Structure 1
Amino acid sequence: MTAAPSSSADIAVFGTGQFAGRIVFDLAATSSEPLDVVIVGRNAERLSWLVTAANARAFMFGAKARFRAAELDVRDKSEVAALLQHCRPRLAVQTASSQPSAVIGEDDNAWARLVAAGGLSATAVFQAALSIMVGEAIKEAGITCAMINCCFPDVANAILRARGIEVLCGTGNVAILSNAFAGARTGEPGRIRILAHYQQLAAWRRPAAERAGRPPRVWIDDSEIRDVYARFATLKLTREPAIEISGASGVTLMQAYVAGRDWHGHAPGPNGLPGGYPVRLSGGTLSLDLPPGLTVEEAIAWNAAFEERNGLVVKDGTCIYTGELKRLLAQEGYPFASGFPVDQTASACTAMEELRRRLIA
């Protein structure tokens, strides 16, 4: 590991991929208050570039953020804990994953086709594994540090919570739609609030005439609109991961959390819940900010229903595959197709890596 930064940090960003890059570059361009960020990863060349580019962007935009690097392997929990104990960040932003999100735009191998047919929850164990490592390192470091998990938070955050890891929320997914919808309404009055699950993003990657299935629930001020597909027919997402929106969607939340300011917006997996919700940050606590007439229980049940039909749910400390995904995994001989206790996530991840390698080959 390279020498750890010599002073405390406000935010530690884990990972050096495109998602991490979007976050640090937007922090660099928009931070009006002093912000010290340490970027953590094992790719020395990429780390060097992220730091160089982020500090350059901060200078260009007159922002008050500064960036440093810590080179280490995020899979090494003891090294991560030592870094956290030394830097004592107030917020850890976890983006590192062994499964690139680009798989959603691929169809040239059997693994990508399994993910397309069975759903992204096929990748959940990959997304959860390193996030568990970071979450446990925070506990091992004995510091007060909130965690935002950017890796498949609609599902993975429930695994983290079942493992006893506190997670503030994720980024993207519901916030992709909420910000895209709000952006399409620029100049129109009324606050928008959305209840949405990541599975609903797929419809918005298709032409308007081909959209089907249950749409997100959308409220403008306190009135729910019933024609969501028609109302936002001109809006269309890229087929690839919408990092330009998803990576950026948590930046204002991160800034508000570190500064101790109130904030409201949208986030997936808040406090380990399934799916995405309108949320409010106040006094360092994130809570649901639902429209009148919608109970917390109704909102959770609405989001949970997607993975109960097809995907992965967490119940009583056990991860359970459902629907078509369960059938496909069993068909491919995946040994955990019937589910696994959350404390066996590492073993389930190893077995899924073997399946992925075989299908890609």
Structure 2
Amino acid sequence: MAGCDILISGTGGFAARIAFDIAAAAREPIEVIIAGRNFERLNWLRTAANARAALFGATARFATHEIDLLAPDASDVLLTATDPRIVVQAASIQTSQVIAQSGNAWTGLVAEGGLSATAVFQALISARVAAAITRAGKPVTLVNCCFPDVVNGMIRAMGHDVSCGMGNVAILSNVFAGSAATPAGAEVKVLAHYQNLAAWRRRPEERGGRAPRVWLGGEEVADVYARFADIQLTPEPVIEISGASGVPMLLAMAGGRRWQGHVPGPDGLPGGYPVKLVGGRLELALPPGLLREEAIAWNTSFEASNGLVVSSDGTATFTGILGGRIAGHIPELRDGFDVHELEAVCETLLGLREMLMQRA
């Protein structure tokens, strides 16, 4: 198979949203390959994406590559077969729908301890793809869509490059930009961690806790909850926004153009930031008066309070309520783990997940 501009790894709803929006938005020739193991699903995604491109008069073309992404050496084999310039990694062994599910002890642990309970599962395939890119030694841009606020830091601690993720902060920046409370043409800049999303899934009168930081036209909004009371997210992942949010960036990357917007986990940083794409690389584009160190510290504080923190020496440590719950089940993880031990830790946590899913 010849090389492609963008390789989409995964065939779930998030991957489909990305492919379908590329199909509608591309105005320059672009070749996309979608990879996964479900042959019938791949055929449908290719058929629908090419149909949407024809429908919208777009210049994207889609092909597929059938592969079991969990098979040994799958990431190396996939990169060799497709020779991509950009990899959009959207395959995971943990569905994001867990945030809207209930009924067993595993969903209860996630609801109580936070989504970082799933971070190791989200990191598994993404870390393998990142390592394969490193081994290949080619200039491939990795966009990790799987829990990037936390997982991208794990990938960087393993010694691999990762450009950014999609969604999360970009969900909020775009809903704020589309709000009636935002003056037409006002520049919107948002500093947000994925944990900030939960409040916007509740009714306006029920919102509380730390809000994202928002600037309109260079001025920081004093009361974000009051200003954007019209915004309402769904209980389940808002793929219609999150999956779409990275498409303008991907098209700019593929076309060698400048772009400005918001992404989670740029270059492995925790949380989400305003950024600009210059010369094929993302740089922080913070609002006036906000220092880089301040922005990073603000995002870091969320996982430090409750979640999963990755230290400079590559130690990943569960914190807060989540740390207590994980340690209660698996005492050997009380002091964290080396990110290079991800595969073994994943096996241990998969056993815990299986056990808890059997409990009401």
Short-chain TM bin? over 0.9
Which SS does the other structure have where 2:35 is aligned?
Answer: strand
| Structure 1: gaps spanning 5 or more residues | 1-5
CA contact (8 A) 1:334 1:355 kept: no
- 1:334 CA displacement: 5.7
Structure 1 position 108 matched with structure 2 position 89? no
The range that moved more, 21-30 or 136-145, is: 136-145
Structure 2 partner of 1:230:
226
Residue in structure 2 matching 1:31, options 22, 26, 34: 26
Structure 2 partner of 1:70:
65
Provide the C-alpha distance between the structure 2 equivalents of 1:242 and 1:265, rounded to a whole number of angstroms.
Answer: 18
Structure 2 partner of 1:244:
240
Correspondence 1:160-239 to 2 at 5 A: 160-185=155-180, 188-239=184-235
CA contact (8 A) 2:192 2:212 kept: yes
Provide the C-alpha distance between the structure 1 equivalents of 2:74 and 2:148, rounded to a whole number of angstroms.
Answer: 24
Which SS does the other structure have where 1:10 is aligned?
Answer: strand
Residue in structure 2 matching 1:326, options 323, 328, 332: 323
Structure 1, residues 145-169: CA drift from partner, whole Å, max 9, x if none?
0000000000000000001110000
- 1:82 CA displacement: 3.0
Correspondence 1:108-147 to 2 at 5 A: 108-147=103-142
- 1:223 CA displacement: 0.8
CA contact (8 A) 2:144 2:162 kept: yes
Provide the C-alpha distance between the structure 2 equivalents of 1:133 and 1:189, rounded to a whole number of angstroms.
Answer: 42
Amino acid at match of 2:188: I
- 1:333 CA displacement: 3.1
Structure 1, residues 189-215: CA drift from partner, whole Å, max 9, x if none?
310000000001000000111111111
Provide the C-alpha distance between the structure 2 equivalents of 1:129 and 1:68, rounded to a whole number of angstroms.
Answer: 25
Which SS does the other structure have where 2:335 is aligned?
Answer: coil
Residue in structure 2 matching 1:343, options 340, 344, 353: 340
Structure 2 partner of 1:269:
265
Amino acid at match of 2:327: A
Provide the C-alpha distance between the structure 1 equivalents of 2:137 and 2:158, rounded to a whole number of angstroms.
Answer: 17
Structure 2 partner of 1:3:
none
Provide the C-alpha distance between the structure 2 equivalents of 1:245 and 1:323, rounded to a whole number of angstroms.
Answer: 30
The range that moved more, 136-145 or 314-323, is: 136-145
Structure 1 position 157 matched with structure 2 position 189? no
CA contact (8 A) 1:157 1:269 kept: yes
Provide the C-alpha distance between the structure 2 equivalents of 1:161 and 1:282, rounded to a whole number of angstroms.
Answer: 21
Provide the C-alpha distance between the structure 2 equivalents of 1:308 and 1:342, rounded to a whole number of angstroms.
Answer: 17
TM-score (norm 1): 0.96
- 1:356 CA displacement: 0.5
- 1:35 CA displacement: 0.6
Amino acid at match of 2:224: V
Residue in structure 1 matching 2:284, options 274, 285, 288: 288
CA contact (8 A) 1:278 1:289 kept: yes
Structure 1, residues 130-188: CA drift from partner, whole Å, max 9, x if none?
00111111122232100000000000000000011100000000000000110114762
Amino acid at match of 2:290: L
Taking only aligned residues, the RMSD between alpha carbons, in angstroms, comes to: 1.1
Percent identity, please: 55
Provide the C-alpha distance between the structure 1 equivalents of 2:200 and 2:331, rounded to a whole number of angstroms.
Answer: 31
Which SS does the other structure have where 1:254 is aligned?
Answer: helix
CA contact (8 A) 1:77 1:134 kept: no
| Structure 2: gaps spanning 5 or more residues | none
Structure 1, residues 275-311: CA drift from partner, whole Å, max 9, x if none?
0000000101101000111000000000000000000
